[in-house]
């Protein structure tokens, strides 16, 4: 007999056998899909912290052990040996490409790097100081109107084409968000450059000058994209899947993910880290802020420490921490801010308060330092995150479209409102 959990309703004496499903890794999952039909009850799990919303073969993370795998490959190996575009191929297809497959994939991304010229007018509808995440979400929703064939979600070729369009176009959109805010002319993609270099070219080049980005900067940005590409069923990914379950246009699904990522508790954390380091101002001020973080009556908290899932050191943080050290001189990192960050990390990692609560530095603690070194404005940090995460979002979308258990998402609730009552005319109230 397969493993199961018996749930007994003590009110009625009824019981139900719920199968226990075991994945490749991770905690077993209790299948409660028959719970309402058999016992007439639902489960309550605020924040879905103990609920598996889907089956997925894309990404696995173990928060207790600090493990992150993409299609079975450890993030440490991918960060050291792979590239972002190769990781995109891996997320979409499940296997690493050979040389011909990689060349074809990168060619296809370049062929889809342009956006419709009419779309360039869309940016002018935003104020010069509009947050770039607002612009990005609006533009991506607008792209849906140009690709009606993307709604044919049952066609595998259309799904793959849509994935390439999303990954290929998002650097163009992200760069235009920056250029619009800066009052600079838009720059068309240059297909002689690879993915990351092309993005930097669209961001920072001038029409009157040749643009040659630093190889060190390109590798640093590629590394950040790898580390942010996918992270299992987080808030924005779950939003993309939920929107997709309604068979929404995939570009609209990505726009929904962008809006969710914009939240300061999700993708906005690296921006909050830089703001915190700026507020601390000098290393000698750190003890005061450490004390404030410990004070439960003080709303201040240290940004970039701790994680909803990782209860060990975030493996991405270890990778990017070393990159920050290695690139500090070559990338002209903000020296005072870097010193504050390193001293803050040192104190926090040796303080019992943070050790007991497992508040280790996460990837957001370091990524902002590198973005800042690349001259990327703070308000663009979350845009960079969205650009990288688009690969994971669209891979998750493709997986859902192929799921034999596909159905529209419909969470339940515990109603705590008024009992049924009769309407009273306004003159009688």
Spatial CA neighbour of 335 closest among 268, 283, 386: 283
Most confident of 68-72, 208-212, 348-352: 68-72
- Label each residue of 358-403 as H, E or C: CCCECHHHHHHHHHHHCCCCHHHHHHHHHHHHHHHHHHHHHHHHCC
For the chain, which domains are there?
4-52 (2.20.28.60), 62-403 (1.10.580.10)
Higher-pLDDT residue of 383 and 320 is 383
Count CB-CB contacts under 10 A for residue 414.
Answer: 8
Confidence of residue 148 (pLDDT cuts 50, 70, 90): confident
> Active-site residue numbers?
307, 364
What gap in Å lies between CA 47 and CA 331, rounded to an integer?
40
Q: Tokens 């919303």 label which residue?
A: 53
The predicted model scores a pTM of 0.91
What gap in Å lies between CA 146 and CA 112, rounded to an integer?
13
Mean pLDDT, rounded, of the chain: 91
pLDDT per residue as tens digits for the range 339-380: 888 888 888 788 888 888 888 888 888 888 888 888 899 999
């Amino acid at each position: 007999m397969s493993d199961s959990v018996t749930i007994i309703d003590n009110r009625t004496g009824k019981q139900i056998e719920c199968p226990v499903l075991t994945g490749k890794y991770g905690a077993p999952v209790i299948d409660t899909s028959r719970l309402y039909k058999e016992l007439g009850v639902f489960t309550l799990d605020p924040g879905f912290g103990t609920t598996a919303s889907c089956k997925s073969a894309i990404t696995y993370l173990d928060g207790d052990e600090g493990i992150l795998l993409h299609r079975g490959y450890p993030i440490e190996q991918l960060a050291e040996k792979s590239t972002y575009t190769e990781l995109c191929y891996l997320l979409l297809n499940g296997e690493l490409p050979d040389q011909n497959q990689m060349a074809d994939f990168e060619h296809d991304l370049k062929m889809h790097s342009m956006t419709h010229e009419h779309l360039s007018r869309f940016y002018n509808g935003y104020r010069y100081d509009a947050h770039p995440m607002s612009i990005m979400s609006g533009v991506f929703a607008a792209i849906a109107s140009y690709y009606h064939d993307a709604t044919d979600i049952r066609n595998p070729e259309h799904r793959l084409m849509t994935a390439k369009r999303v990954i290929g176009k998002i650097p163009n959109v992200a760069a235009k968000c920056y250029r619009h805010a800066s009052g600079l002319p838009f720059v068309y993609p240059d297909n002689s450059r690879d993915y990351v270099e092309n993005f930097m070219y669209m961001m920072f080049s001038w029409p009157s000058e040749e643009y040659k980005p630093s190889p060190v900067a390109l590798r640093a940005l590629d590394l950040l994209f790898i580390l942010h590409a996918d992270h299992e069923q987080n808030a924005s990914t779950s939003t993309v899947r939920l929107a997709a379950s309604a068979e929404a246009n995939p570009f609209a699904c990505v726009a929904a993910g962008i809006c969710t990522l914009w939240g300061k508790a999700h993708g906005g954390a690296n921006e909050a880290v830089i703001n915190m380091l700026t507020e601390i101002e000098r290393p000698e001020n750190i003890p005061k802020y450490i004390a404030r973080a410990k004070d439960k009556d003080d709303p201040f908290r240290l940004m970039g420490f701790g994680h909803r899932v990782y209860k060990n050191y975030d493996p991405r943080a270890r990778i990017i921490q070393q990159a920050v050290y290695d690139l500090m001189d070559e990338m002209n990192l903000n020296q005072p801010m870097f010193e504050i960050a390193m001293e803050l990390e040192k104190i926090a990692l040796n303080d019992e308060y943070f050790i007991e609560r497992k508040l280790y530095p996460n990837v957001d603690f370091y990524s902002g330092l590198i973005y800042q070194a690349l001259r990327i404005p703070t308000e663009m940090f979350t845009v960079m995150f969205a650009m990288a995460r688009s690969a994971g979002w669209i891979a998750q979308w493709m997986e859902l479209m192929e799921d034999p258990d596909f159905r529209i998402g419909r969470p339940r609730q515990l109603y705590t409102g008024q009992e049924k009552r009769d309407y009273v005319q306004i003159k009688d109230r």
